[in-house]
Amino acid sequence: MNIPTWLDALIAAMLLIGAIVATLGSLGLARMPDFYMRLHGPTKASTLGVGCTMLGSLLYFSTSGEGIRVQEVLITVFLFVTAPVSAHVMAWAALHRRVHCSANTRHPPWPEMDRAPVTEHAASSAPAGDKESAD
Amino acid sequence: MITPRSWLPTPLLSILLLIVWLLLVRSLSLGHILLGATLGVAIPLLTRRFWDDQPMVRKPWLLLRFMFRVLIDIIIANLLVSWIIINPWRRSRPAFIEYPLTLEHSFPITLLANTISLTPGTVSANLRMDGRTLLIHALDVDDEKALVEEIRERYEQPLKEIYEC
- Which domain, by its residues, includes A41? 5-102
- The residue with greater pLDDT, B55 or B113, is B113
Q: How far apart are CA B73 and CA B97, in angstroms?
A: 20
Residues of chain A whose C-beta is under 8 A from some C-beta in B? 21, 24, 27-28, 31-32, 34, 36-37, 39-41, 43-45, 47-48, 69-71, 74, 80-81, 83-85, 87-88, 91-92, 94-95, 101-102, 104-109
Q: In chain A, what residues touch B137 (CB-CB under 8 Å)?
A: 36-37, 39, 91
Report yes or no: A91 and A32 within 8 Å, Cβ to Cβ: no
Domain assignment of residue A76, yes or no = yes
Q: How far apart are CA A7 and CA A66, in angstroms?
A: 16
The residues spanned by each domain of chain B are 4-50, 60-163
Percentages (nearest 5) of helix, strand, coil residues in chain A: 70, 0, 25
Contact check, Cβ <8 Å, B81/A45: yes
The answer to whether residue A129 scores a pLDDT higher than 80 is: no
The answer to whether residue A7 scores a pLDDT higher than 80 is: yes
Number of structural domains (chain A) is 1
- Residue B20 sits at the vertex; the CA angle it makes with B108 and B6, to the nearest 5 degrees, is 65
Residue of B nearest to A69 (CA): B26
- The residue with greater pLDDT, B122 or A11, is A11
Domain assignment of residue A118, yes or no = no
Mean pLDDT of B119-147: 78
pLDDT digits (tens, 9 = 90+) for B80-111: 888 888 877 767 778 888 888 888 777 888 88
pLDDT digits (tens, 9 = 90+) for B1-38: 445 566 677 778 888 888 888 888 877 889 989 998 99
pLDDT digits (tens, 9 = 90+) for A71-96: 788 888 888 888 888 888 888 888 88
Domain covering B60-163, topology: Alpha-Beta Plaits (3.30.70)
pTM of the model: 0.74
